[in-house]
Structure 1
Amino acid sequence: MKEQRMFWFSVAVCLTLFIVIGFSSQILPANSSDSLAIISAKPNSDYNQTFEELGMGVVYDFQMTLPQADETWVKIWVDAYQSGKEIQSNPVGVLSYGLSPNEYEEGHIGLALVEEEGGNPLLVLYAPGVKTLPSQLSIPLDIVAGGNITDYAIGMEDIHLTEGETKLLAVHRTVKDSAHLMDWNDATARQTMIQESETALLLKIKVAKEMPETK
């Protein structure tokens, strides 16, 4: 029981650091892009190293800049697939926020998959100043098994997102046999890789200039 409490304390501390340290608000640079968001993958960030050293699970980490943060709404979510088919309860995790009081913001966003002993892993989405509560995946996924493939769908160079644009950021999948490694941004290749996977989690982002309607 004591070890379990220490484990969850470590998880809470790490996720809090993700939010606090990864957040900064600055004066808008004069040469800022007209893009609503600028994102790059950070596979070797301190976040990843911390999770790896503590044996807590897997993190997909990104640096994001919002040049028009006071006019931008961000939605980050995860769609899950099992045996090549999208599950009915999608999305399995959603983080939606925006319209900041600051004109310009930058910080870290991402997905953390936390290993849960005796159960499916916990999913946490995080962004500057916000995070989701840990939620247990409804599909089996052993994130430390040898059949796991971790893929960033974007590189470490900056990509620019415009109004209403949706972008695939990363994929975590498990496979039984050998699997193809192709371009996730190609629709045909993406479908092939999903179909050959036992399970697949797709991390996506969309930016807009208005808050999405609530159902």
Structure 2
Amino acid sequence: MKMKVLAPFILLGTLLLSSCANIEDKTAEIKPMPDSDYVKTFEELNLGNLFDFEFELENADKRWVRLWVERYQDGEKDREPITELMYGQSPIPDETSKGHVGFGIIQSNESEPSYFLYAPGVSSAPNKSVEKTMSDTSMTTWDYAFPDEKVDLLLNEEKVLAAYRSTSSNQMRTYDLGDKDDVEKMIQEDTEVLLLKIKIKESDEDY
């Protein structure tokens, strides 16, 4: 009889401990900003495409942030990211860093696209790929992984933020970028896929 009475409390305690663990693991929040001033300026200048996010990082003095873009061509992953940015360890103790992070694609009719990344206080120089890029005759589309939604980022978690993709066929499917199996299908079925990713760690040694 005593065990029957105690069982609900044991279950409640387990759930509370699990919830507290998840709160402790949470290290950042990120939200897509498709209508931000950054995006509007990019569009007004007809520069190309910009994925912009509002980003808040806790304990920025103890964290390293890596942003990078993977490219897949006909289902095969490039050996190196087409662009990459890493920053961390703010000089201000216990600082919560707030600002914008994002990925830009500068399009030009006369040359190959250029890619760049940016984050609070840092950015990468526009980088042109020397290999083939998305064909002008291909169908292209771009999506945020979690439109109009703020999400928590956990320490050591690799997260897909957005995708820019093309296909040589006459149709494009819709995929759930939060589902790993769906992302893998997209990579295999589309001609070319660019995936914007983020990961937060306590050290830069593993990068």
Give the TM-score of the pair, scaled to structure 2.
0.81
Matched residue count? 180
CA distance in 1, matches of 2:97, 2:133: 36
Q: How does 1:91-110 map to 2 (within 5 A)?
A: 91-102=81-92, 103-110=95-102
Q: How does 1:34-113 map to 2 (within 5 A)?
A: 34=24, 35-88=26-79, 90-102=80-92, 103-113=95-105
Kept in 2: contact 1:179–1:196 (CA 8 A) = no
Q: Which has the larger radius of gyration?
A: 2
CA distance in 2, matches of 1:145, 1:130: 34
CA distance in 1, matches of 2:175, 2:133: 24
Other structure's SS at 1:109 match:
strand
Corresponding residue for residue 6 of structure 1:
none
CA distance in 2, matches of 1:190, 1:148: 16
Corresponding residue for residue 193 of structure 1:
186
Corresponding residue for residue 129 of structure 1:
121
Structure 2 stretches of 5 or more lacking a match? 1-22
Q: Which 4+ residue blocks in structure 1 deviate beyond 3 angstroms?
A: none
Other structure's SS at 2:108 match:
coil
Instruction: Indicate the larger mover: 72-81 or 112-121.
Output: 112-121
State the Cα distance separating 1:110 from its structure 2 match. 0.5
CA distance in 2, matches of 1:213, 1:164: 10
Q: What is the root-mean-square deviation of aligned Cα atoms in Å? A: 1.7
CA distance in 2, matches of 1:183, 1:145: 25
- 1:203 maps to 2:196: yes
State the Cα distance separating 1:118 from its structure 2 match. 2.1
Among all aligned residue pairs of Structure 1 and Structure 2, give the percentage whose two residues are the same amino acid: 36
Kept in 2: contact 1:36–1:208 (CA 8 A) = no
Give the TM-score of the pair, scaled to structure 1.
0.78
Q: Residue deviations 1:175-202, cap 9 Å, x none?
A: 2221210211212211111222121100
Other structure's SS at 2:81 match:
coil
Return the letter of the residue paired with 2:154: T
Q: Residue deviations 1:15-52, cap 9 Å, x none?
A: xxxxxxxxxxxxxxxxxx64211101111111111111
State the Cα distance separating 1:146 from its structure 2 match. 6.8
Kept in 1: contact 2:138–2:167 (CA 8 A) = no
